[in-house]
């Protein structure tokens, strides 16, 4: 999914793609390093927070797996340089429809709403059919992945994804701009105009096994999915992907099957939402995971603790390291 997302973001004009990670499968990490070496992304380690003592485990108290902290770090790292910042998960991507690029689409929306602090998009859930597990990275077909999916309906939702005008916000949240300066406001885009593509459900199956009537054959079919994703754009992204992996000598690398890890995480979240796990700050560290035979790369940090009064302590990150382990959930 990261390969598809990076390809789409860069193709439509994102000048900088920042990927925050706490842990990753070793093969995914190596592939992301290849993209970083090619200048296509900036890979930011985001180490888990330390524990003051055996009774206080800070990362278990952080809301939503520390995502808001990563968003704020991104906002204040690029607030003075960026005209727009898109905050999104790896499985949420935007294909511009009101213009040929992100900038042209946002400028049209800004002309309509000069008081905007950001633009909120609904999400169109997709079912993705692919058969790339167990194959070398060099055989992965980005163009086939982007042409084999089944869309669901787009509906208005509070769980939007958005592009913000960073000079007009002082906070960032998962679904909206959070804290906004002055009288500026977020404006919501209708499903008819455009929506984020949410690569929600994945099936290990080729398009040929699904039948032509069961699948929408690609983002090229603008009448059915109302997107402007032409065949030549898909082909350009596939060629760019091949260029990246060849130039970084990772074509023969075979990714680990992450299906087991995904199912463990999904089960954790299902338990959490069902109330089996009760916490005000949900996250995977509130779950117990069995050992898995997968090599992962984890971001670790060295911290200095600073006491402020009797009831507060600050942790300051001095440096970040990487380590490999047989689990992604430390």
pLDDT for res 286:
61
Q: How far is CA 273 from the centre of its chain?
A: 21
Candidate from 97-111, 188-202, 222-236, 306-320 with smallest mean pLDDT: 222-236
Q: Does the model's pTM come out above 0.85?
A: no
pLDDT for res 116:
97
CA dihedral sign of residues 102, 107, 110, 111? negative
User: 85, 78 in Cβ contact below 8 A?
Assistant: yes
CA dihedral sign of residues 105, 109, 158, 220? negative
Q: What is the dihedral of CA 307, 311, 312, 313, to 10 degrees?
A: 50
What is the share, in percent, of the chain residues with pLDDT greater than 70? 74
3-class DSSP state for residue 189? strand
pLDDT at 174 over 90: no
Considering 65-74, 171-180, 188-197, the range whose residues carry the highest mean pLDDT is 188-197
CB atoms within 10 A of CB 182: 8
**Alpha-carbon gap, residue 226 to 1, rounded angstroms:** 21
3-class DSSP state for residue 242? helix
pLDDT digits (tens, 9 = 90+) for 245-279: 888 888 888 766 666 666 777 777 666 655 555 55
pLDDT digits (tens, 9 = 90+) for 270-319: 666 555 555 555 555 566 666 667 788 888 888 887 877 777 777 777 77
pLDDT for res 281:
52
User: 268, 328 in Cβ contact below 8 A?
Assistant: no
pLDDT digits (tens, 9 = 90+) for 81-127: 999 999 998 889 999 999 989 999 999 999 999 999 999 999 998 88
pLDDT for res 226:
43
3-class DSSP state for residue 126? strand
pLDDT for res 159:
87
pLDDT for res 220:
45
Whole-angstrom CA distances from 273 to 62, 78, 106, 288 are 17, 34, 35, 16
**Alpha-carbon gap, residue 102 to 174, rounded angstroms:** 20
**What value does the mean pLDDT take over residues 227-244?**
80
β strands within 205-285, DSSP E: none
């Amino acid at each position: 999914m990261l390969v598809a997302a990076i390809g789409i973001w860069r193709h439509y004009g994102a000048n900088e793609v920042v990927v925050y990670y706490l842990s990753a499968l070793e093969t995914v990490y190596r592939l992301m390093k290849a993209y970083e070496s090619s200048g296509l992304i900036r890979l930011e380690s985001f180490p888990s927070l330390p524990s003051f003592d055996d009774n206080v485990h800070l990362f278990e108290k952080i809301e939503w797996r520390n995502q808001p902290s990563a968003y704020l770090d991104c906002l204040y790292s690029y607030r003075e340089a960026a005209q727009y910042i898109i905050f999104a998960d790896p499985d949420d991507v935007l294909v511009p429809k009101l213009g040929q690029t992100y900038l042209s689409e946002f400028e049209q929306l800004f002309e309509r709403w000069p008081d905007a602090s950001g633009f909120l998009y609904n999400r169109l859930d997709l079912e993705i059919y692919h058969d790339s597990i167990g194959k070398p990275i060099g055989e992965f077909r980005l163009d086939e992945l982007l042409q084999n999916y089944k869309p669901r309906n787009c509906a208005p939702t509070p769980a939007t994804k958005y592009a913000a005008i960073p000079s007009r916000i002082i906070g960032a949240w998962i679904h909206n701009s959070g804290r906004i300066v002055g009288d500026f406001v977020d404006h919501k885009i209708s499903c008819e105009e455009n929506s984020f593509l949410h690569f929600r459900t994945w099936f290990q199956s080729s398009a040929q096994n699904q039948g032509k009537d069961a699948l929408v054959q690609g983002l090229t079919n603008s009448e059915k999915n109302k997107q402007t994703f032409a065949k030549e754009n898909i082909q350009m992204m596939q060629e760019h992907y091949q260029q990246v992996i060849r130039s970084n000598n990772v074509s023969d690398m075979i990714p680990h099957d992450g299906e087991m890890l995904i199912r463990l995480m999904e089960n954790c979240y299902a338990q959490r939402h069902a109330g089996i796990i009760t916490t005000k700050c949900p996250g995977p560290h509130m779950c117990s995971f069995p050992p898995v035979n997968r090599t992962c790369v984890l971001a670790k940090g060295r911290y200095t603790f600073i006491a402020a009064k009797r009831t507060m302590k600050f942790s300051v990150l001095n440096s970040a390291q990487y380590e490999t382990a047989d689990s992604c959930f430390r």
